[in-house]
Structure 1
Amino acid sequence: MQLFAFFSLFAVVRAVVIPAVQPSGHSKSTINADAVPQGKNHTINGVLTYVSLPKQKFDPTTAVLLLTDVFGLPSPDNLLLADEWAAAGFATYAPDYLNGDALPSDGLDNVTEWEVNHGEAQTTPPLLAVISALKLRGVKQIATTGYCFGGLYTTRLVQNNTIAVGTMAHPSSLNVPTDFELVKAQSHVPIEINNAELDTGFTPSLAVVTDGVLGDGQYAPGYFRRQFDGVGHGFAVRANASDPVQVAAKQGAFDTSLAFIKKHLK
């Protein structure tokens, strides 16, 4: 597969690059100590990948590719989220496209320094390696769900028509509206976004700008965005179990993405 192409476009709205949100700006988790990830780590085409399969019968020609936030596979929240997708009936793959160097969830706020070694040149090859391997194994339809940092790569895969459908939540590192202008110009992949009212990255105002590009039927393949109020960045991955607003938002984001994927898979 070819590497992702660069694209520049004059837009009415000034383009804004969404910054990666510092670790302290992510929603905090209160995972039950009894919660144990059900999947297993496998090496797929040289890339460590967390694989979670449905317990019931499933379609082996369809898969969900889960693109994690900056905390990667060491974060139990990401693994349990992959398990949720498997429980919904999809073979789910979460590749370590961070190359064994995820950001510690309890580390210092050094995401800017970390990003230097985690640009698209470093993270794209392992991602494409897993996709290529899945297709060789007979997977014909890949639905991607990306969270935070993973939202950028979901967008790239949509732009290049590499996947069948793409969803994301509180994306970071995107250029708005330029990246979505590119989606509109050359993609035929349906796209869905869950955003947070209190996000300091993909803010509600940037979400409205995105609607201006893809909404109101402008993007024929399919576009949907849902905002969740009272929550911030990372809400679709982590929630405080004692906060009903956070719990409902996390579940709502999952349900919205699941419904969108089911609607648009052939």
Structure 2
Amino acid sequence: MQLLVLLSVLAATQAAIVPLVDTSGHFHTSAPADAVPQGKNVTINGVLTYVSLPKNKKFDPTAAVLLLTDVFGLPSPDNLLLADQWAEAGFATYAPDYLNGNALAMGGDITAWAVNHTEVQTTPPLLAVIGALKSHGITKLAATGYCFGGLYTTRLVQNNTVRVGTMAHPSSLNVPTDFELVKAQSHAAIEINNAELDTGFTPAVALQTDAVLGNGHYAPGYFRRQFDGVAHGFAVRANASDPVQVAAKQGAFDTSLAWIKAHLE
């Protein structure tokens, strides 16, 4: 935990933070009425965690995906269904409540909420779950983070806590400093899905990231894919009546899945 905090402080002194996007800037849709989460809530090392395991298929018990949710956390059915989608793809999937039982309500004040959800508060439960998973034989761990979770995927990649990381429309990052730290000390492959209309991790910020990690500058592997016509939150929620949103959400998942499959071994 101390190293994670140190990295955060170092980054904060050198670069601007990609802001959290206000709730009004997220896609807001209701999960389909017939979509019922298939996993279950369990307590892992004292932390509530949504666990979704592959159904009716064999899976590698030494591999797992750690899903790091957006600010709406486990109360959001969309996050649970996303974890189920990872399980359907063949991975034991764990989504820890690193928000400490205090996810942001739709329409809530994200600025006030963020005061009580700094890395000092959110990192310990995350590391508690990771420690428990590794103690139970999970040796190949991937992290996939969405919005707020993108920061924590980056931290876990920086510290080589995971073998591979993916993220979509990340927030709270210091760019380019956070990715310079990745380049300097990580050997975990990293992939980013960004949105053309995002007001946080904008296309301009994405290009700054490319300048650090792209064009072969990062040996472990880097890939970024931009989805046009969509905004912040697109990889978690999509309006079922909008084919652009539906395609972007599925495209982000497919891209992340392919990246993790290629780099988790």
Q: TM-score, normalised by structure 2?
A: 0.96
Which residue of structure 1 lines up, in the alignment, with residue 119 of structure 2? Answer: 120
Q: In structure 1, what is the equivalent of residue 98 of structure 2?
A: 97
Distance in 2 (alpha carbons) for counterparts of 1:152 and 1:190 = 15
Alignment of structure 1 residues 211-222 onto 2, 5 Å = 211-222=210-221
Decide whether the 8 Å contact of 1:30 with 1:241 is kept in 2. no
TM-score by length of 1: 0.96
Segment drifting more, 253-262 vs 28-37: 28-37
Any idea what SS the aligned residue of 1:128 has?
helix
More helix by share: 2
Shift of 1:253: 0.1
Superposed structure 1 runs of 4+ greater than 4 Å apart:
none
1:66 is aligned to: 67
Unaligned runs of 5+ in 2: none
Partner of 1:244: 243
1:65 counterpart SS class: strand
Cα distance, 1:10 vs. partner?
11
Instruction: Please name the residue that 1:43 is paired with.
Output: 43
2:255 partner amino acid: T
| CA RMSD between the two structures | 1.5
Q: CA deviation at 1:218?
A: 0.1
Question: In the superposition, relative to structure 1, how do residues 124 and 10 fare at CA in structure 2: closer, same or farther (>3 Å)?
Answer: closer
Query: What's 1:177 paired with?
Result: 176
Match of 1:78 in 2: 79
Equivalent position of 1:26 in the other structure: 26
**1:3, distance to aligned residue in structure 2 (A):** 3.9
CA–CA separation in structure 2 for the residues paired with 1:143 and 1:224: 16
Conservation of the 8 A alpha-carbon contact between 1:31 and 1:241: no
**TM-superposed deviation, 1:15:** 2.7
Aligned-pair CA distance for 1:27? 1.1
Aligned AA (1:98): L
Q: List alignment gaps of at least 5 residues for structure 1.
A: none
- Seq. identity, %: 77
Equivalent residues, number? 262
Amino acid of the residue matched to residue 29 of structure 1? T
Structure 1 position 198, deviation (Å): 0.1
Against the structure 1 CA distance between its residues 10 and 86, is the aligned structure 2 distance closer, same or farther, given a 3 Å change threshold?
closer
Query: Which amino acid in structure 2 is aligned with residue 21 of structure 1?
Result: V
